[in-house]
Amino acid sequence: MCGIVGIAAQTPVNQMLYDALTMLQHRGQDAAGMVTFQDGRLFLRKENGMVRDVFHTRHMRRLVGNFGMGHVRYPTAGSSSAAEAQPFYVNSPYGITLAHNGNLTNADKISATLFRSDLRHINTDSDSEVLLNVFAHELQALGRENPNENDIFDALTKVYSRCEGGYAAIAMVTGYGLLGFRDPHGIRPLIYGEREAENGKMEYILASESVAITALGFRVVRDIEPGEAIFINANSEIFTKVCAKNPVYNPCIFEYVYFARPDSTIDGISVYKSRMRMGEKLAYKIQREWGMDHQIDVVIPIPETSRTAALELASILGVKYREGFMKNRYIGRTFIMPGQSQRKKSVRQKLNPVELEFKGKNVLLVDDSIVRGTTCHEIIQMAREAGALQVFFASAAPPVKFPNVYGIDMPAKSELIASGHSVEEVRQIIGADRLIYQDLNDLIDSAREGNPNIERFDCSVFDGGYVTGGIDEAYLNKLENRRSDQAKKTSSRSNIEVMDDTSVDMTGVKEDA
């Protein structure tokens, strides 16, 4: 999962891009990048690390121009190579940069034929580079000296016919404009907003989440539709077109469970309200299965994404809600961290129990989901050490049984605790006295209530139903070999590694480190 943003403004965009990326930092803490355009040149800065660490004053001063885009990344396979930080760049045709959120499920197939059919070289293992080169080839094949919006859309139509999976992307065609597009199922989110500049002209922003738009003073216009593209040209004129054939709305439901910020609205659905409904439905399930005498003394959320659901759950159960864990905000999201031992260690560094909220009580811990089980096992142990009599555990999502193939680093199937284990077996493994999961239908209803027009969500991590099709056992086995903790101990391939403290000028691209 990554975060992307693009801005077409009337004034310099570097500070706006920086601020937007900080609002999207929760979507990726592995690397950050930004590229801007001015006077026929692109200015690029990207590196491993958090936004605040990648961009210093000297970098911001060099990122000049009124058009630009940015990216925050966490990797879904391989190591955290600086060479795979985005945006990516190709100089032909015109000079194109691209930032991408998601995953191409047929990237290997395309990559194997790109050199033979398109005479294009892929330098990394990133499917984002594959997507960029496919778009560049299709745009170049049109042979236009000065492409307009129709040429951009024609090229994208061919991109959609070649690229499968879940993706949202922002690209900048040097000197011509800013482009955003979304996969034909709308799996990965992309939203656009606008505002009027002081000179009376319109300014536009594209972003993964609405919070990055509203925080900068833009007005959210709408979500990009599945298979739709939006193009803002150099004169700040905006054009949109659905370029994919037979698009269908199947947004990823895990955005509402975990990834998106609660103050975001995606596909017309308030993330905050959807999580409230998750807590409500889970409370009713507890009453059905555990009875009205459920013996819960206090409800405590696992910071931070489960807070909204836990608060509503406690209210319906008529039980006290308490903040029993204090979070160290300088530790990254453990879901994103590679390696089981690193995740296990980081839990203790990240959370510290408030003993008086646990001592002598039956505690219900609420988390957004259970993936590997590492985090909740450690947290349950911490609750017991703090003096809890009994520790119950509730997941606001159903059991995660299948890997995600659309850009979320749900690990190898063998590393998913609910895959191959019953609820009772999971309870024993994590060490809880009781365990309850959300029902899938209740989860779907929690999201759909915000937008009844969405008939189906991508719930593949829960039910194994991959909405794009074409995902077989051979593909999942190959994915497991790439995504397992063992695989992430090895480096990803890159023919040219990014060096520290270098400044490279490549055919109009200025890269500052």
**Catalytic center residues:** 2
Q: How far apart are alpha carbons 151 and 302 in whole angstroms?
A: 49
Q: How far apart are alpha carbons 282 and 141 in whole angstroms?
A: 54
* Residue bearing tokens 């609910």: 418
Q: How far apart are alpha carbons 106 and 101 in whole angstroms?
A: 15
Helical pair 307-317 and 271-290, crossing angle rounded to 10 deg: 40
**Bridge partners (DSSP) listed for residue 103:** 166
Distances in Å between the Cα of 47 and the Cα atoms of 31, 81, 129, 130, 280 are 6, 9, 16, 20, 42
Cis check: omega of the bond before 147, within 30 degrees of 0: no
Residue 202 region by backbone torsions, left for phi larger than 0, else alpha for psi between -120 and 50, else beta: beta
Cα 184 from chain centre? 17
In single-letter form, the type of residue at position 448 comes to R
Q: In what order do the strands lie in the sheet with 434-437?
A: 320-321, 298-301, 362-367, 390-395, 434-437
* Residue bearing tokens 């609420």: 366
Q: Is the dihedral of CA 146, 149, 151, 156 positive or negative?
A: positive
